[in-house]
Each structure stands twice: as structure tokens, then as C-alpha cells.
Amino acid sequence: MFGLGGKTEMVTEERALGGRESRPWSLGTHVVLRTPVVSDDVPEGHEVAVFGLGCFWGAEEIYWQMPGVWSTSVGYAGGYTPHPTYDEVCSGRTGHTEAVRIVFDPEVVSYAALVKKFFEVHDPTQGMRQGNDVGTQYRSAIYWSTPEQEQTARELTKVYGDELARRRLGAITTEIRPASETPYFYAEDVHQQYLAKNPFGYRCHANTGVAFPETA
């Protein structure tokens, strides 16, 4: 379940699993925020952020606690296989990373604040792993939805990267890509708000221990 011994080389599109035409499971209401998990119709004035930062159970828990976050879900992004299952993603043969999708009100919480939290709560230098979780599905990623999000993501990545370099820590390996290039597929219901349903469940919070510079 924790990805030990997972694949660390990205599968090519030609060798990826075929997947399926539609999502074979239904999803209900967010058990914490009481909002829709499948939130394709984003409320007016809200935005969407998609991040990969290791095991999506703990990542989603972090973000649903932030004021201004309307809904969260966990899923798979950055890969090739349409509507993959968890087991397929963990096989390393879909190309996806475990991701969290955040619908937020930018009047309450900025995209920059979400990105800063992203860098502080995982280790963006570890490549195809987070702590003991090893495999391409644990790689660090930001999938931006607007040019403004891209600019913010790249600027803050540089700021945090410079801070890590000043402390002689590793280089950032975070994948930064447009969300339009990599569809987000919702994970199975058992994984949605997993730690609300299983409060003593597994949390992977590998991180550098470096706070985001206050001047940024």
C-alpha cells in the first residue's frame, strides 16, 4: 500500500496500460466539507489547483483544512492511461502521479499560499519518491490551470529552490505542466478523504523542514 519497491522509471505512452472510456465508480459528497467531490462545475469566482506531493491521503487532509478551500479530491494526473485504478497506477504502468485537486476561493486563500504550503509539506527534491514511498506515482508535480498560476508556480519554485540551495540541500525535481496536457482522473471512493474515514491511517509527510522564505 505504501509503494515500497515501486517503479522509478516513467513508462512511455506506447507501453502504458489502455485504461477505460469512463470512470467505473461513483463518488458522493465530501465527508468533511460537505461539498461535491466531483466538482467539474466550479463555483463562480473559484479556481482549481492540482498538485502531486506523495501519498494523496495526507496531501488531501492538509488542504481541506485550509480556510478558503471549497472542496478537495484525490486522483491521478500526469499520465497516459484514462480512468486508471489505484492498482494500475501503483504498477508504474500508467504514468500518473497521485494528486490532490483543490477548488478554492482566491478571495480567501491565494494560489501562492497553496503553492507555498505544497513546498513546505513534502520534499520536492526526492524525484520518484517521498520518504519510504518509492515509485513514479509519488513524484512531485504542479499542474497549472491559467497563465497566472504558471507564473506563480515557477516564481515560487525558484524562490524555494534558491533557499534550498543556500542551505546546501537538493535541487527541486517538481514537474510543472499545464493541466490541459494531463487530464485529472478521480480516484476510487475508498481513497477520497481517506484520513477522515480512517483517522489513524498512514500519513507520509516527508519534507525538507525548510519554511518558505517570509519575504516571498
3-state class of 180 per DSSP?
A: helix
Pair 106, 47: CB distance under 8 Å: yes
Contacts of residue 215, Cβ cutoff 8 Å, sequence gap at least 6: none
Pair 89, 79: CB distance under 8 Å: yes
Pairing of strands 97-104, 69-77: antiparallel
Catalytic residue among 17, 48, 50, 55: 55
- Alpha-carbon gap, residue 113 to 118, rounded angstroms: 9
- Alpha-carbon gap, residue 90 to 93, rounded angstroms: 8
Please report the sign of the dihedral spanned by the C-alpha atoms of residue 32, residue 35, residue 38, residue 40. Answer: negative
Pair 59, 139: CB distance under 8 Å: no
What counts of helices (H) and strands (E) characterise the chain? 5, 8
Q: In whole angstroms, what separates CA 170 from the centre of its chain?
A: 20
- Alpha-carbon gap, residue 183 to 58, rounded angstroms: 22
Q: Quick check: is 204 catalytic? A: no
- Alpha-carbon gap, residue 184 to 178, rounded angstroms: 11
Please identify every residue annotated as catalytic.
55
